[in-house]
Amino acid sequence: MARNKLAALDKKLLKRELVVTNRTAPGVTKRGTIDLISFSCNDYLGLSQHPEVIRSAKDATELLGAGAGASRHITGNHALYQDLESKLASLKNTEDAVVFGSGYLANIGTIPALVSEPDLIIMDEACHASLHAGVRLARSRIISFSHNDESNVIALLKKHRDKHRYCLLLTEGVFSMDGDRAPISKLLEIATEYDAWLMTDDAHGLGVVGGGRGSNVEANKTIPVPLQMGTLSKSIGTYGGYLCANRTVTNLIRNRARSLIYTTGLPPGTVAAATKALEIIMSDERLVKKPLDNAQLFTEILGLPSAQSAIVPLQIGSSERVLKLSKILQKKGYLVVAIRPPTVPEGTARLRCTFSAAHRKEDVEAFASTLKKALGA
């Protein structure tokens, strides 16, 4: 059975192989003996290799050990969690925050804790796989709306909202495969009008847009999104996930989210490193501005619509073509991983280019020039 399934994937050029990749310096990866400038990493601010972040991880590990030892409800809720959750809530302008073991765990734990069979979930069709996993576990009625289509959201709520007890409206703040931003303020207005909770997945917004505060900030104005989920593994550069919300919600999550209750706590070093990274994000305006500046320089050179985030997708179409382009770029010294179905819809395989504060202007310009030539090959 497994052999047949793998053969079917291979035939469609959808079989994946894990490749040893060492990130030796900010913006640089090593595959085998070859150094590559990476335009595929989500470490948008280079904080995973920031000396202060690394030092914080070392100090906490020496003080409290390499692991948490148990779930947070047993003995794994070490003293460093409180500071991290407080800083997350402050950055996101909420009363409280809950830290999970990963962003995936945050989504599959939060959604079923809030809604269940009698309820309705309206979600953007382009939402991340972890959101889809969470809504399936909730066993609510699930309806997808056309990507970033506010009028479709209103039409669906008009038709279905009054038939269900509670309603959750789900979107990403910055879409991980498309790089565009959701109309958060408008979606919050719609959710409020139809008595729904708005939940945003801000994994790719925090640290990059809204002055580093994320997609709940538009034109320097904070939008009071009630449920803000995200990760500690992208701009923050460490590992973990979180939900920022009011204290009533966070208390419910601590009591009902199975992926929090039945998972070992994060290592002290990871939590301390994330806390230090947050402090840097909150204080270094120049750093958080760089990824978007680099992405917009790239789109300007290529004559594309101006980047809305650190992610710029180049939709190629076929898996065969996108794999060929990725290999061409690697031979030229650039790592840009090919993104294929089922991560993206059939016929939309793409090069997902990501930009970080570690990229120099000349790196971006040279990459854009090389990519132009590769696209013409």
- Cα–Cα–Cα angle for 69, 70, 73, rounded to 5 degrees: 140
- Catalytic residue (choose from 85, 201, 202, 363): 201
CA gap 208, 52 in Å, rounded: 20
Backbone angles phi, psi at 149, to 5 degrees: -100, 95
Helices (H), the chain: 2-11, 51-64, 80-92, 103-114, 129-138, 150-160, 184-193, 247-256, 258-261, 268-283, 285-302, 319-331, 361-375
- Catalytic residue (choose from 78, 87, 92, 128): 128
Catalytic residue list contains 201:
yes
- Catalytic residue (choose from 87, 204, 276, 359): 204
- Cα–Cα–Cα angle for 314, 350, 45, rounded to 5 degrees: 70
Catalytic residue list contains 204:
yes
Catalytic residue list contains 172:
yes
- Catalytic residue (choose from 176, 216, 294, 356): 176
- Catalytic residue (choose from 172, 178, 202, 363): 172
Catalytic residue list contains 234:
yes
Q: Report the run of H or E that residue 143 belongs to, with start and end.
A: strand 141-145
Q: Residue 152 in contact with residue 145, Cβ under 8 Å?
A: yes
Catalytic residue list contains 362:
no
* Helices 184-193/150-160 angle, 10° precision: 10
Catalytic residue list contains 152:
no
Greatest CA span in the chain, whole angstroms?
A: 60
Catalytic residue list contains 102:
no
Q: Which residue has tokens 């750093």?
A: 287
Q: Residue 228 in contact with residue 244, Cβ under 8 Å?
A: yes
CA gap 277, 280 in Å, rounded: 5
As annotated, the active-site residues are: 42, 128, 172, 176, 201, 204, 234
